[in-house]
Structure 1
């Protein structure tokens, strides 16, 4: 087959597989496509040289990631969409470059699945703070795979799904009579999933709280909290005071604390008199702590995105600061170097948001609470660190108004539900205008507000102390799989060097290994 035609076939398979993977997530939401999409990608680079694998991997990454986060095009801007999706596609290109040598090792499905998980682990933390969106694990809510999150976390679930895809590839390419090991591997993965589904992680509740999540709504077009930011704050204050009135009238249960969303005040609530007065009135009326989402001034060039525990007796106290501000969305990397290029995002973002560093939970109504702000919920470190340090409940403060007319809000809510399973905690979500909700430790939705409405979710939630295996392991699965991938690449390089020094073996000496793919012929390479 001509080399150009082979390359075109590879590219077509990669693009189709990338689109299948995108369809596994919201808004299409067909997670059963996941292993087939991964298998298609592995097959598209099988037998290729690394430079061909890079090109094919880039095609896969472009078709998947540009589709997966297409919501950025209409909500943030085409420039941000192209820039972010382009950077993330390069990770799949790098993966495509290292898969061919790894696929020549014995038991290659294990090596390539580890490489996939390592790629996700790295791109979730780098460059800057990384971008976890699109991890395989984030598509499995409402499937039998979801309970596995409590045992092995997002990294472990992604590894299992990638391994399943690799084993499916093995069945397609294995020599005659050599499929038994691949079938056994698939059965083992499915059995592990079934065990977690039949025996999900459970722990007894050690207490209860009544928590009210306020979704105050956003005036005007609904996708811009700055359109009338003072009305946004008034909406949340008025909804809280109405709840207080209902409690006094006996038509609502008294909350132990109230949760407001990110950007419930878009100006510094300590310096702005109007917003401060609205918050104080709401807190005094409620008579319980209110966790306010506010933008707090640092200096002339820096700002903090914080969840502030506002007590009716002692005023503002403990704070959680957002750990993962969005580069080119909430701060400008290398601003000193780019200074003077006053256009686009550089002109819009006048001050850089400072990342928080504390790993300790905040204390609200006498209870340790793990807080996360917006995209923080997609990162492994934020909630796991706080839960490991004693948090008995999880709260998520998010604005999401920018994305309210897109499917980003469904993707984020799915990730949040998976975090409830992974941490083994109730999760209370407050959004400015959607999606707000209360989620149980098994991921099911206890209550949810309709987008673009003013709603108060006043629900009793359980408190838990036990730690899931996933929280106990923390980042170690990702680190371990990264080491496995590095070892695999070293072994592949040594094996290639040995073959070159020894020369081709006689035909009768070549082992008929079931786990070694056929050597590529010349027309399978791009020179």
Structure 2
């Protein structure tokens, strides 16, 4: 261009250039906005709910204490839903380790008070158990995404962590569960469909729903409420059982008179050979003095018949002669004949080879003849058998000298009697839904729970056992009869209602008319697998969806 050239600008060219520039800026802004929205979809969402007020660690402790307070012996079930709502709002933390740590703190604050009875049995084992439980819940909390997906992922992760705690290690510890806490809530009937795992997941859904309501997240609140309502309605119309007579014929008016015998005595005691006769005689005398006749079925507690061999020599420290095997069996036969009843009694004795112990229930007919036995299958770790015995004996001098030999797990948990097959879950087994399924799935017309909680400190275990028996009644649609030497003994309807219960240490008989029933609920037929699979798929979908959104968000170059 020459030095004398003149600059000219066309108005049209200027306008076009400005328009293109503005359009480019607009597109750039739109791209930035879309990118920001996409990244926000997988980022932590700051909660504006009242549940987010205060320091996270304080809220974690509060959540755990609320969960504990929802359990027996305290037992105000709405607190469990509030505790879970607090927990899910803690999981907005972006850092995996913070989510894990806060979840572990919730776990310890919940299960510490709810399992404090363990400290009396093993001061070393209790904190180790709490650490193990906390690790399971920490992993579950870390897996839950911190964004809106946590509303779907949390119930699934929580249910899976609880399933693991109930089954592992050493058979699991299904105590202090949210399922037993919610047995009195409107969610309780859902156990008839999917057992305790479904009830646990739905309780978490209720917690998520409450959190959404308090944060004005209307869509997830509506979805959660609809899911809870649908489950409740499904439980109402789901198939169950029907009353039958002794011959197995349908009969709405049929029933049998059952007596659960509690001999009474001190609580927080340990087994002592010198006390075997006293325990036996307390139950014998209570039966003779308090059972009203006619009676069709009398149930004694677990292992209150603990005889010594006929040749055993009474130790000098004992105040009275040992209870011998032949003496105990003769007295039981006489009792069944005198009452003209089917008698179920709990035995504890050495095996024939003398290498182990047996814990079993024996059935006598009205003629005093033993007709069947059921050996306990689900044993108490470190109480009835000792895993890793060589290591465990270094930390406790109260371990059993020999293990209890479990019964065959592949056989139905029933006693065949003149009243038909009677389902049995001995003591600890009532906490395990699969043992109740074995009993009822094997034809059990009623579910018997002979138990013995006399060695436990406080009443935490005993009250949780009543809650668990109520849960089993709902799941199986059966009457449950629980008999304990020092409490609690109870009769429970298929709806989970306790119609009568004893107190601690009192000598008393609970007597009532109960129905024999047949037919299986969905929980008995299907077990925990459908809910467990659904939880795995739900959690996997929630985690996988986040990766998909992150990978394919607008503006990202692949």
* Equivalent in the alignment of 2:140: 95
**Aligned-pair distance for 1:122?**
1.6
> Whose Rg is larger?
2
List per-residue Cα deviations over 1:196-219 (Å, max 9, x = no partner).
68768765421222222111123x
**Aligned-pair distance for 1:68?**
0.9
Paired residues of 1:257 and 1:364 also in contact (CA < 8 A): no
List per-residue Cα deviations over 1:303-355 (Å, max 9, x = no partner).
221111133547333222222211122211022x43xx645535531111233
Instruction: Write the distance in 2 (CA, Å) between the matches of 1:68 and 1:405.
Output: 11
**Aligned-pair distance for 1:232?**
0.6
> Of the candidates 354, 357, 375, which is equivalent to residue 428 of structure 2?
375
Go from structure 1 to structure 2 and tell me whether the alpha carbon gap of 1:492 and 1:128 turns closer, same or farther (over 3 Å shift): farther
* Equivalent in the alignment of 2:46: none
* Equivalent in the alignment of 2:69: 23
* Equivalent in the alignment of 1:81: 126
Task: Please say if 1:11 is aligned against 2:34.
Answer: no
* Equivalent in the alignment of 1:281: 334
Go from structure 1 to structure 2 and tell me whether the alpha carbon gap of 1:47 and 1:171 turns closer, same or farther (over 3 Å shift): farther
Instruction: Write the distance in 1 (CA, Å) between the matches of 2:225 and 2:88.
Output: 20
List per-residue Cα deviations over 1:248-303 (Å, max 9, x = no partner).
xxxx3322221110121234689734433433333343333321111132344422
Go from structure 1 to structure 2 and tell me whether the alpha carbon gap of 1:360 and 1:322 turns closer, same or farther (over 3 Å shift): closer
Task: Please say if 1:355 is aligned against 2:406.
Answer: yes
Aligned pairs for 1:335-414 within 5 A: 335=389, 337-338=390-391, 342-345=393-396, 347-356=398-407, 357=409, 358-403=411-456, 405-414=458-467
> Of the candidates 161, 171, 183, which is equivalent to residue 203 of structure 2?
161
> Secondary structure of the equivalent of 1:115?
helix
Instruction: Write the distance in 1 (CA, Å) between the matches of 2:179 and 2:368.
Output: 42
Paired residues of 2:452 and 2:484 also in contact (CA < 8 A): yes
* Equivalent in the alignment of 1:184: 222
* Equivalent in the alignment of 2:118: 72
* Equivalent in the alignment of 1:125: 167
Go from structure 1 to structure 2 and tell me whether the alpha carbon gap of 1:163 and 1:29 turns closer, same or farther (over 3 Å shift): same
Task: Please say if 1:263 is aligned against 2:300.
Answer: no
Task: Please say if 1:254 is aligned against 2:304.
Answer: no
Paired residues of 1:253 and 1:458 also in contact (CA < 8 A): no
Paired residues of 1:11 and 1:44 also in contact (CA < 8 A): no
* Equivalent in the alignment of 1:242: 289
Paired residues of 1:318 and 1:363 also in contact (CA < 8 A): yes
CA RMSD between the two structures: 3.0
Instruction: Write the distance in 1 (CA, Å) between the matches of 2:380 and 2:183.
Output: 25
* Equivalent in the alignment of 1:525: none
Task: Please say if 1:215 is aligned against 2:262.
Answer: yes
> Secondary structure of the equivalent of 2:449?
strand
* Equivalent in the alignment of 1:422: 475
> Secondary structure of the equivalent of 1:401?
coil
Instruction: Write the distance in 2 (CA, Å) between the matches of 1:307 and 1:121.
Output: 29
Paired residues of 1:372 and 1:395 also in contact (CA < 8 A): yes
* Equivalent in the alignment of 2:176: 134
* Equivalent in the alignment of 1:445: 498
> Of the candidates 305, 320, 324, which is equivalent to residue 359 of structure 2?
305
List per-residue Cα deviations over 1:377-408 (Å, max 9, x = no partner).
11110011221222111110111112363232
Paired residues of 1:283 and 1:312 also in contact (CA < 8 A): yes
* Equivalent in the alignment of 1:512: none
> Secondary structure of the equivalent of 1:96?
helix
Go from structure 1 to structure 2 and tell me whether the alpha carbon gap of 1:472 and 1:230 turns closer, same or farther (over 3 Å shift): same
Paired residues of 2:133 and 2:165 also in contact (CA < 8 A): yes
Instruction: Write the distance in 1 (CA, Å) between the matches of 2:268 and 2:547.
Output: 58
List per-residue Cα deviations over 1:25-82 (Å, max 9, x = no partner).
12222211222211211221223322222222211111111111123334x2433432
Paired residues of 2:341 and 2:365 also in contact (CA < 8 A): yes
How many pairs does the alignment contain? 479
Segments of structure 2 that go 5 or more residues without pairing to the other structure are 1-51, 246-254, 311-323
Task: Please say if 1:53 is aligned against 2:111.
Answer: no
Task: Please say if 1:150 is aligned against 2:195.
Answer: no
Go from structure 1 to structure 2 and tell me whether the alpha carbon gap of 1:198 and 1:151 turns closer, same or farther (over 3 Å shift): closer
> Secondary structure of the equivalent of 2:183?
coil
**Aligned-pair distance for 1:488?**
3.8
Aligned pairs for 1:101-120 within 5 A: 103-104=146-147, 107-120=149-162
Paired residues of 1:118 and 1:481 also in contact (CA < 8 A): no
Task: Please say if 1:476 is aligned against 2:523.
Answer: no
Instruction: Write the distance in 2 (CA, Å) between the matches of 1:485 and 1:398.
Output: 38
**Aligned-pair distance for 1:481?**
3.3
- TM-score norm. by structure 1 comes to 0.82
Paired residues of 2:371 and 2:416 also in contact (CA < 8 A): no
